[in-house]
Structure 1
Amino acid sequence: MLFAAAGAIAGDLNPVPATVAETTPVTAELPNLADRSLPDSYGNERLLAEFRDGPVLVVAVLGVECPLAKLYAPRLQELAEQYAAQGVRIIGVNANRQDTLAEIGAYARRHGVTFPLLKDNQGWLIDQLGATRTPEVFVLDRRGLVRYRGRIDDQYAVGVLRDAPEQHYLRDAIDALLSGNDPPIASTESVGCLIGARKVPDPTRGVTYTNQVARVLERHCVECHREGEIAPFALRGYDEVAGWADTIAEVVRDQRMPPWHADPAHGEFLNTRLMTDAEKQVLYDWAAAGAPEGAVADLPAERKFVTGWRLPRDPDKVIPMRGEPFVVAPQGVIEYQYFAVDPGFEEDRWIQAADVVPGDRSVVHHVIVFITPPADRPQRGMGMLTAFVPGQSSMVLPEGHARLVPAGSKFIFQMHYTPSGMEKSDLTQLGLVFADPESVTQEVLSLVSANPKFEIPPGAADYRVETSQDWFPPGAKLIGLAPHMHYRGKSFRMTGVWPDGRTDVLLDVPRYDFNWQTNYRLAEPLELPAGFRIESQASFDNSAANLANPDPTAAVRWGDQSFEEMAVGFFEIAVPRGSLEQLRARRSEASQEDRETARRLADNLFEQHDADKDGVLKRNELPLAFAIFAFKRFDFDNSRDLTPDEVFEAALANETRRF
């Protein structure tokens, strides 16, 4: 018999560790499948018996558009090649109603898959196995007993991307069976995309794709979920969408989609991405009704999207991130990439609008473009120019508002890439629209509030770090807010404190997600009087319960890399043009407070980063962002290392002319 029992595990196997969720075994035996067949990606019928000629058979349940199935395709291929000589066979089985044979074949070609990929159109094999998600693997021994079912390893999960797996569930199960032993773990809980249950659509339930669901998707989803965008699959067309009905309901119910993390009880924002309760219910009811189609005549018109620059006019200047594309690896964690570009500005430029267009939207997760002025010009705030996140790419400022780029400045592209299971090349571009200098009345800049002095203990589930921005330039108005943490980030709240002691929660992000770097743009600018401050509280989860945690046994400190942490609040403000220069003139002489602050900053920098304790800071001892953005501004004598006096003088200059 090909399969004896789906998930029926011998009773004397080792118990599942507490960190692994055990699934409920399916104990019913499968019928004799020797004469059963499934079509492969070429349309050829393949008898299942032909794969039962070795000691181990791995059945991998896959979907061609599921993000995790894309990431794990190369891993499965590696295992197939590694164990082929020992008689181990791997086959893929697809039961998604929306995946065609042509799409399955394209999946194989894109990811270099050579093991057989079969299509289970009726879902009988998937049902017998009890598979619920893609990817999910079933490991059968020579007798046809399922000895392991669940995850391939623990490198990838929903919203989780580790450098490398720590647990190799599938490999360990294969090795154990080849050695004549029981797999060390019998079952793990699969993560990934739901396999839509095969239901008979019930059009009498009053909700159909054409009359309601398509309208909700056009309004909230297709901006990213369409061909060529970063979302893993398109949500247009009944045949495509119906197969995702249960998954759509799940991610909306879990508040993973649409990607908006601010609590609607606090603040009003121009770029809000929230479904109404009624819209959510439409999706839930449709999935429960079996995803009925409805009358084609009821379909709404499709939204039109700009495929090029999203600017008021053609850009005055286009700047690529570098001279050649960056190659994005198909797997693993890709640390932030930084590219410095000289736009060749020989005079000051005022930027009224800017847009970032990724070269390959399928792998560009987000982009931040910074301005770094020449050493003889002061940094204006933190120097942010614009940013791109999926669905939000352009900065178009109101009339009279602009950002200043001093002559001789360079642009720094901070690139965050996410692997797609295929090697890709990206050459992102920045488009700029210049403002007439005579028309600019308000200068826009970004400030930052950070607290680098913390150490998150191993296993801490709710570690708090507080930051404060207690001074703003005179006449400033707040127009945007953004929190920033890394993988251990749990929540972030920003509270405005007025001079009279009154408080208002400006932004509350109760479930922070590092995968979405959102700038929350206020619906109405907030005037900031003298004495106003913003108190921020960041919470971190360094426990094993945080699935994105790179290492719950490590103490975590401040750092640029995603396995380190940050507690940062960004504030976008507008100030009357010329007010910063007037402020600097009044602050031209360093006060004793300025000198003490500068000395403290210098001492802290050496304490944290002078690894060899030789009294100088080398570029490679410093965090990557500091090395890129600040090193040359501190290295007064161009000696390629920093002395305590240089750091003090640079910090003092920053205190006296920081705006």
Structure 2
Amino acid sequence: MLIHSLRRACALVHSFALILCWIAASSADEARSPLGNTVDDFRLRSCYGNEVSLSDYADSNAVAIVYLGTECPLAKLYGNRLTELQQKYADKGVQVIGINSNTQDGVRELQAYVHRHDIAFPMLKDPGNRVADAMGAERTPEVFLINKERQVVYHGRIDNQYGVGYSRERGTISYLGQAIDELLAGKPISTPATEPVGCYIGKVSEQEAVGEITYNKHIAAILNARCVSCHRKGEIAPFTLTSYDDVLGWEDTILEVIADKRMPPWNADPEVGHFANDPSLTKQEIELLKTWVDNGMPEGDPADLPEPPQFVEGWRIEQPDQILFMNEEEQPFEVAAQGVLDYQRFVVDPGWTEDKYITAAEARPDCREVVHHILVYVVPPGARRTDINAIVAGYAPGSAPTRLPEGVAIEVKAGSKLLFEMHYTPNGSAQTDLSYVGVRFMPKEKVTRLLRGAVAVDRRLKIPAGDPSKVVEAGYKSAQDEYLISMTPHMHLRGKSFRYEMKRPDEPWQPLLDVPRYDFNWQLKYEPSEPVHLPAGTKIKCTAVFDNSDANLSNPDPTVEVEWGDQSFEEMMIGFMEVIPVKEDFQRD
């Protein structure tokens, strides 16, 4: 179908954004606070094999010990940040030491991490997570700042730029930097503890692997069906889940994001509607995963391992009649290593001198690791803006290309241009991208019905500064007998919830879709299990709620009134829909 869908995956937010949907939140409690503890000397090998001990830095005024993982999204984003901090404070006697305690990270992965993120401080391997256990470390990244006496004076996160489900353009508080400044100045640490936010450290399991539930017989099939489309090499998700060895070390993070309903990404209320593309795990699947982890994660009989899913490397539609890159000069766009990128837009002239009837289309990312979604809109002849009712193709991790039923097509008028709307998620290292779309055409004489985009939209919205629950409504009325085949709520960073309701003539209102926890990072497409019949005169009402208060951690600025605009610091309220006429309606000249 047309508007982007997300079936599964974790990626950096923002979102990344963001892509931070798979990141685990800390539930640290004060009873285990390491503040005031003395860190014993340790001796570990760096990723290059040389031995490094804490006592090597006995003359340092402060040492920041930071636990990092090679595939943790936050650890990727903060690698360069920590190098900058090391360089800033080196002449003041401050040393950064990185420690990797993940059982799933080998020396080669650690070396690649150091090179990819320009790490300029010692990066040490902690076999068996002995040092992590001694210090009480649980997450990546997690900071322990110690003074000359090796006492922990600050513990927690690096700054407040990234968190669970949100990403700011820049951090407003550098907790670690502030603590270092206060320690060097001989002042009390004003914020000595914050909650670490990141993935669980993949520690060596102490549980003996027992039980009948095994990876090969039960768990592999679940991961193949729910996760592997994105959690595989070259895709946007932060780590692979394609083998037993891949899963080891990620089990705690997997259970946490499932329990928090962040993975697989799906925001619809299960009590409202049934959807063909719902990727949610069943209760039985969740229980199998929990029991398997509790039982020590037995691998099982190799003969029970299912065949891995096959993913098409080339076009998933038939060979396109035309391929269009996202800019006419075919110059890749440079994606920064970190931060938040607003939508990037590129207008392309496809050179269509006659009306076109598109029956299949596929948007394809060039750099899958950072492309969060693609939308390809039609810009009508002579128009200055896109037609939000007309979307040729969309891409998001796990989504399917556009394939229309026989006789159904998207009509694009001669002289139209295409606008690529690109949403990028930085992953900690600079990348380049030149995405593209392929389209297949249908002869006009074979067209019987036109697929049409429909919207409920309010372009005049105004969201007052500080308002935590601004309600905005918009509607759509069917002018003919048609089928509703998809719904996609669209808001920006202040979006809180979104609801679709339907009223057929002479019938009461009934809910179609309820998204009680809208997430800008995962703007999902919801495809009803059966097309919804909309007799002529049917009304659809969309109700959106916005949170422009400082309680919304994604909010760019709660002190300003927000109006309609293209960028994420502005707002939109669009209830996208796709409809097909029930009867043949195409009129030929």
TM-score (norm 1): 0.81
Partner of 1:318: 323
Q: Which secondary structure state, in structure 1, belongs to the residue aligned with residue 112 of structure 2? A: helix
Q: Deviations over 1:247-268 (max 9, x none)?
A: 0001111111111112222222
Asked whether the 8 Å contact 2:101–2:126 carries over to 1, the reply is yes
In structure 2, distance between residues paired with 1:21 and 1:485: 33
Alpha-carbon separation, structure 2, partners of 1:95 and 1:361: 28
Partner of 1:122: 128
Distance of aligned partners of 1:157 and 1:346 in 2 relative to their CA distance in 1, 3 Å threshold: same
Matching residue's letter, 1:247: T
Match of 1:294 among 287, 300, 314: 300
Output the CA distance in 2 between the equivalents of 1:376 and 1:482: 24
**Aligned-partner residue type, residue 358 of structure 2:** I
2:378 to 371, 376, 390: 371
Flag the 1:248–1:376 CA change in 2: closer, same or farther, 3 A. closer
User: Residues 376, 259 of structure 1: CA spacing in aligned structure 2 closer, same or farther, 3 A cutoff?
Assistant: closer
Q: 2:554 aligns with which of 548, 552, 560?
A: 548
1:73-97 deviation line (CA, Å, top 9, x unaligned): 1111110111111111001001111
- Aligned residue number for residue 638 of structure 1: none
Residues 592-613 of structure 1: CA deviation (Å, up to 9, x unaligned): xxxxxxxxxxxxxxxxxxxxxx
The answer to whether residue 85 in structure 2 is matched with residue 83 in structure 1 is: no
What is the aligned partner in structure 1 of residue 255 from structure 2?
249
Choose which of 434, 440, 451 in structure 2 pairs with 1:444.
Answer: 451
Q: Report 1:102-501 matches (<5 A).
A: 102-311=108-317, 313-322=318-327, 323-375=330-382, 382-469=389-476, 471-501=477-507
Shift in alpha-carbon separation, 1:314–1:284, aligned structure 2, 3 A:
same
Shift of 1:127: 1.3
The 3 A distance-change label for structure 1 pair 546 and 360 is same
| Runs of 4+, deviation exceeding 6 Å | 376-381
Deviation at 1:29, TM superposition (A): 4.8
> Whole-Å Cα distance in 1 between the matches of residues 387 and 210 of structure 2?
61
Contact 1:136 1:190 in 2 (8 A): yes
The separation in 2 between residues aligned to 1:446 and 1:488, in whole angstroms, is: 25
C-alpha distance in 2, partners of 1:145/1:235? Answer: 39
CA distance in 2, matches of 1:199, 1:163: 38
Contact preservation (8 Å) 1:440, 1:577: no
Whole-Å separation in 2 of the counterparts to 1:481 and 1:269? 10
Displacement of 1:580 in angstroms is 7.7
* 1:26 maps to 2:38: no
SS at match of 1:125: helix
**Does the 8 Å contact 1:480/1:519 carry over to 2?**
yes
Equivalent residue letter for 1:183: I
2:527 alignment partner in structure 1: 521
The amino acid across from 1:153 in the alignment is: D
What runs of 5+ residues in structure 2 fail to find an aligned partner? 1-26
After superposition, residues 40-55 of structure 1 pair within 5 angstroms as 40-55=46-61
Amino acid at match of 2:116: R
Give the drift of 1:27.
Answer: 6.6
Amino acid at match of 1:158: V
**Most deviating of 239-248 and 295-304:** 295-304
| Deviation, structure 1 residue 140 | 0.7
**1:258-299 CA distances to partner (integer Å, 9 max, x unpaired)?**
111122222222322121110111122222223232233322
Letter of the 1:154 counterpart: N
1:633 maps to what in 2?
none
Alignment of 1:610-629 (within 5 A): none
CA drift of 1:221 comes to 0.3
Question: Structure 1 378/100 Cα, relative in aligned 2: closer, same or farther at 3 Å?
Answer: closer
Q: Deviations over 1:130-171 (max 9, x none)?
A: 111111111111111111011100111122111111111011
Aligned residues: 560
Measure, in 1, the Cα distance between the counterparts of 2:211 and 2:53.
Answer: 40
Task: Check conservation: 1:490, 1:541, Cα contact below 8 A.
Answer: yes
How far did 1:28 drift?
8.5
Which structure is larger by alpha-carbon Rg, 1 or 2?
Answer: 1
How far apart in 2 are the matches of 1:129 and 1:543?
37
Specify whether residues 94 and 442 from structure 1 end up closer, same or farther in structure 2 by C-alpha distance, changes over 3 A only: same
The residue type paired with residue 83 of structure 1 is Y
> CA deviation digits over 1:171-221, x for unaligned, max 9?
101111111112220000011111245432333333222221111100110
User: 1 or 2, which has the higher helix percentage?
Assistant: 1
Identity of aligned residues (%): 46
Residue pair 1:68, 1:192 contacting (<8 A) in 2 also: yes
Equivalent residue letter for 1:79: L
Question: Does the C-alpha gap of structure 1 residues 435 and 346 become closer, same or farther in structure 2, counting only changes over 3 Å?
Answer: same
TM-score (norm 2): 0.91
> 1:23–1:188: 8 Å Cα contact kept in structure 2?
no
Q: Give the one of 570, 577, 582 matched to 1:571.
A: 577
User: Which secondary structure does the structure 2 equivalent of 1:318 belong to?
Assistant: strand
Contact 2:35 2:154 in 1 (8 A): no
Contact between 1:21 and 1:188, CA under 8 Å: does it hold in 2?
Answer: no
Secondary structure of 1:59's match?
A: strand
The letter for the 1-side match of 2:453 is S
Instruction: Give the Cα–Cα distance (whole angstroms) in 2 for the partners of residues 274 and 116 of structure 1.
Output: 41
Query: Unaligned regions of 5+ residues in structure 1, if any?
Result: 1-19, 586-659
Give the equivalent residue in structure 2 for 1:535. 541
Structure with higher RCO (Cα < 8 A, 6+ apart):
2
CA distances 1:355-401 after superposition (whole Å, capped 9, x unpaired): 01100011000011001121399997722112111110411111111
